[in-house]
Amino acid sequence: MPPSAKLRSKADFESIYARGSRRFDDAYLGLRVRPNDVGRPRLGLAVAVKTAGSAVRRNRLRRVIRESFRLEQHALPAVDIIVAARSASRNATSAQLRASLANFWNRIKAQCANSSAR
């Protein structure tokens, strides 16, 4: 993923959490989504030790999320997305996480299509 597709700064994360952002949740992950002016989707990850456990599990979770985003980013609108892991993600399989993320990407695309149609 190129650096321009990543949210890294504390200010970026705070602005998404503080200002009106759309929220999507399920048992494994929580997403915050907010339109941006960059012209491309950007991804930020919040995977805590308390939530995901060991470094091996946290890094596996991050890899699955980044790969899913990489495959879908061309179809996503220009939004900033923060993906936060939940404690259930600790024991989730990669297939379960990919299915959860696919559902989220579809919901984001549908939401933005509805917003632009208004």
What Å distances lie between residue 72 and 1, 10, 11, 43, 67, CA to CA? 12, 25, 25, 12, 9
In a domain, 105, yes or no: yes
pLDDT score at 116: 61
pLDDT score at 118: 54
Q: C-alpha 19: how far from its chain's center?
A: 17
Q: Enter the pTM of the model.
A: 0.89
pLDDT score at 73: 93
Q: Give the count of domains, the chain.
A: 1
In a domain, 32, yes or no: yes
Tens of pLDDT along the chain (118 residues) come to 778 888 889 998 998 988 777 899 999 999 999 998 989 999 999 999 999 889 999 999 999 999 999 999 999 999 999 999 999 999 999 999 999 999 999 999 998 777 665 5
In a domain, 116, yes or no: no
Expressed as residue numbers, the domain containing 59 is: 3-110
In a domain, 117, yes or no: no
pLDDT score at 100: 96
Give the CATH number for residue 68: 3.30.230.10
In a domain, 54, yes or no: yes
In a domain, 25, yes or no: yes
* Nearest one of 10, 3, 5 to 81, comparing CA atoms: 5
